[in-house]
Structure 1
Amino acid sequence: MAKLYLLRHAKAGWALPGTRDFDRALDPSGIADAEAIGTAMRANGYVPDLTLCSGALRARETLGGIASHTDTGRVLYFDKLYSEDAAGYLQIIRDNGGYGSLLVIGHNPMMEDLAMAVSGDGDPSAHETLEHGFPTSGLAVIRFDDGLANAAPGKGYLEAFLIPATV
């Protein structure tokens, strides 16, 4: 059994004139939310063996907030997680699927699209929460019986969906 943790980056401030979207930093509520999700991950035993993080500043800062409260395993950065679609995310996950658990820190709409696509079954309350959208600092916890290298649409089980307001 393998676990996939999909985490949308925390809330970022607006881009200042002359600043690329890629370089937007977290705002104060985003920092607090990232830390809260890190605490919730530790409390629930959600410990990834490997973290794949978008190279965008807000994703890296989200990782920093989480890492200050829980173990994030080995970390790899992928600028492609900023621009790939859900299918691209799934391929990156499969390519790194030799681990028992994997945390992906990325962006919407890719996170929501991927979570909905791979979660064929799951906890009804988690599905209901996810159906209302994938907010910043939202964390989908998805179990795969056949390992992450074989992750595919409809093959996952959505165990939980955490948002900062409920942790």
Structure 2
Amino acid sequence: MSRLFLLRHAKAGWAAPGTSDFDRTLTQSGQSDAKALGMRMRSIGLIPDLILCSPARRAVETLEFVASTLFDSPPKTELVQELYNSDATDYLHAVREAQVAETLLLVGHNPMMEDLAFELPSAGDQQAMRGTASGFPTCGLAVISFPGPLADIRRNGGRLEAFLKPDL
């Protein structure tokens, strides 16, 4: 069995004049939410073997704040350019190509996170996902399990184990 954790970056501010979208930083509430989510993940044992993260500043900062409360020693982390400004197909490709034992944390952006969270679980779990919120909120975490390795994941092939937000 394998598990995929889909983490949308925490709340970021708007790009300041002269600053690119890529360089947007987290707001104070985004920083607090990421720390809170890391603590929740730790308390229920959601510890990844490998992390793939978008190189956008808001995604990297989200990971840093989550990691500050989640890990004693973080696992291998890779910044993957294709996780910024791409589509769900690129996200799925990155997951399938990752060399991970059992559990992968993917830190990225919407709409790709939402697309994967609705496409990968079984049809019944897709309905549960739709009932969790309108869309995939910032600093939301979908936990999806699969019967085989992540290299073999397919549409409707997983099970939504949990959907976490920092405030619940």
How would you bin the TM-score normalised by the shorter chain? over 0.9
Residue type of the partner of 1:153? R
Structure 1 unaligned spans of 5+: none
SS in 1 for 2:26: coil
Deviates more, 1:97-106 or 1:117-126: 117-126
Residue 26 of structure 2 corresponds to which residue in structure 1?
26
For residues 18-50 of structure 1, the C-alpha deviation after alignment (integer angstroms, 9 at most, x for no partner) is: 000000000000000000110011011000000
**Segment drifting more, 89-98 vs 16-25:** 89-98
Residues 95-114 of structure 1: matches in 2 within 5 Å? 95-114=97-116
Higher strand share: 1
TM-score, structure 2 as length reference:
0.93
Deviation at residue 122 of structure 1 after TM alignment? 3.4
Aligned counterpart, 2:160: 158
Match of 2:119 in 1: 117
TM-score (norm 1): 0.94
Sort the Cα spacing of 1:133 and 1:123 in 2 relative to 1 into closer, same or farther, 3 A: closer
8 Å contact from structure 1 (residues 127, 158) kept in 2: no
Matched residues in 1 for 2:161 and 2:130: separation?
9
User: Matched residue pairs, number?
Assistant: 165
CA distance 1:138–1:94, change in 2 (3 Å)? same
Structure 1 residue 158: deviation in Å?
0.4
Cα deviation code 1:59-92 (max 9, x no counterpart):
0000010110112421000121012211110010
* Correspondent of 1:89 among 79, 88, 91: 91
> Does the Cα contact within 8 Å between 1:143 and 1:159 map onto a contact in 2?
yes
Report the alpha carbon displacement of residue 123 of structure 1 after superposing the two structures with TM: 8.9
Hey, what's the Cα distance between the residues in 1 that align with 2:6 and 2:164? 10
Partner Cα separation in structure 1 for residue 130 and residue 27 of structure 2: 28
8 Å Cα contact 1:11/1:137 also seen in 2 = yes
> What SS is found at the alignment partner of 1:108?
coil
- After the TM superposition, which of the residue ranges 46-55 and 114-123 deviates more from structure 2? 114-123
CA 1:11/1:90 → structure 2, altered by over 3 Å: closer, same or farther? same
Cα 1:17–1:69 change in 2 (3 A) is same
How well do the aligned residues superpose, as a CA RMSD in angstroms?
1.5
- Measure, in 2, the Cα distance between the counterparts of 1:99 and 1:88: 21
Listed as ranges, the matches of 1:1-167 within 5 Å are: 1-71=1-71, 72-120=74-122, 121-122=124-125, 125-129=128-132, 132-166=134-168
